[in-house]
Amino acid sequence: MLKIKNLSFAYGSIQTLNSVDMEMETGKVTCILGRNGVGKTTLLKNIMGILKPSSKSVIQIDDVELTTMAPHLRAKMGLGYVPQGRQIFPRITVEENLKVALQARRDRSRVIPDFVYDLFPVLREMGGRMGGDLSGGQQQQLAIARALCGDPEILVLDEPTEGIQPNIIQQIGEILRQLVEERGMTVVLVEQYLDFVKEFGHNFYVLNRGRVVAEGETSELSDDIISQHLSV
Ligand SMILES: Nc1ncnc2c1ncn2[C@@H]1O[C@H](COP(=O)(O)OP(=O)(O)OP(=O)(O)O)[C@@H](O)[C@H]1O
Ligand SMILES: [Mg+2]
């Protein structure tokens, strides 16, 4: 289980996260919801070690504390990251994009796992193309595949449906479901598309101005919570 306790973060003097407490259960999809600018990406960057939280914040996987651990060591602890806006490498090939991620693996394998290509056959076909020449939907698939090449136990995704057409969104959801059900993966999903959250998510937390204002199972995501904290 990934646990966050009392996590606070400020960009300079601007307090962005305030005493956030969350538990992401193993083998479940935990969704982090909230309007634009409430601190969702900032939270994920703290989990990944890209940003450093305030003292007294705690991030741990089971009983191992990661709060001050460098990002590459967190990858070795089993965290895989799909950043907002994909951030694939545009000027190297699809295959090279995937190979870069193999360095995070604990087993030191340098071979792209078959299951990654089985989940995303389009990437096998396009292995020799430049990352930047893929469509937006294909780049999102590449970003997820790249994270999977690091052999994560916990997959952290920042708005994977943003700007993606419905059939690819559905495919991504089915892949997340498969990873959870067949591989016991833990998924942390920042998402604003509520139908996707209801279909593929198990638990949710809602952030508003850097604080957790609601939490529960996705089946309990009420109209009241939506109108108060999520609708624009
Ligand atoms: N590098 C930065 N320096 C200063 N402020 C920042 C920085 N990055 C983000 N912020 C601010 O912190 C707040 C939270 O940003 P964050 O990107 O975490 O929001 P978000 O919930 O992910 O939003 P979105 O839904 O638009 O992706 C925003 O007010 C944003 O302007
Ligand atoms: Mg964001």
Instruction: Order across the sheet with 29-33: list the strands.
Output: 79-82, 154-158, 186-190, 29-33, 203-208, 211-217
Q: What is the chain's mean pLDDT, rounded?
A: 96
Residue nearest to ligand 1 atom 28, measured at CA: 37
> What pLDDT is attached to residue 151?
95
For the chain, the domains span 1-78+154-160+187-232
Region class of 204: left (phi > 0), else alpha (psi between -120 and 50), else beta: beta
Res. 232 pLDDT band, cuts 50 70 90? confident
> Near ion ligand 2, which residues have CB within 5 Å?
40-41, 84
Task: Decide if pLDDT at 127 tops 90.
Answer: yes
Ligand 1, residue 35: give the atom nearest the CA: 25
Q: What is the pLDDT of residues 129-148, one digit of tens each?
A: 999 999 999 999 999 999 99
Tens-digit pLDDT profile for residues 79-107: 999 999 999 999 999 999 999 999 889 89
Which amino acid residue places its CA nearest to atom 4 of ligand 1? 11
Residue 40 Cα to ligand 2 middle (Å): 5
For residue 38, is pLDDT > 90?
A: yes
Fold observed for domain 1-78+154-160+187-232 = Rossmann fold (3.40.50)
Smallest CA separation from ligand 1 atom 14, residue: 39
Q: 99: helix, coil or strand? A: helix
pLDDT tens string 195-214: 999 999 999 999 999 999 99
Nearest bound ligand to CA 13? 1
What is the pLDDT, as a whole number, of residue 104? 87
pTM value is: 0.96
Question: Dihedral (C-alpha) 39, 203, 190, 124: value to the nearest 10 degrees?
Answer: 160
Q: What spacing in Å lies between the alpha carbon of 176 and ligand 1's midpoint? A: 26
Write down the pLDDT at residue 5.
98
As given in the structure block, the two tokens for residue 58 are 């705690």
pLDDT tops 90 at residue 191:
yes
What is the 37 CA–ligand 2 centroid distance (Å)? 7
pLDDT recorded at residue 199: 97
Pairing relation of β-strands 211-217 and 203-208? antiparallel
Output the residue whose Cα is nearest ligand 1's atom 5. 11
Q: Could you tell me the end-to-end alpha-carbon distance of the chain, in angstroms, rounded to an integer?
A: 32
Distance CA 32, CA 196 (A): 12
Q: How far apart are CA 125 and CA 93, in angstroms?
A: 12
* Centroid of ligand 2 to alpha carbon of 221 (angstroms): 21
27: CA distance to ligand 1 center in Å? 29
Average pLDDT over residues 110-121: 96
pLDDT digits 0-9 by tens, 167-184: 999 999 999 999 999 999
Question: What percentage of the chain exceeds 90 in pLDDT?
Answer: 97
Per-residue pLDDT, 130: 98
Q: Which two tokens stand for residue 174?
A: 């089915």
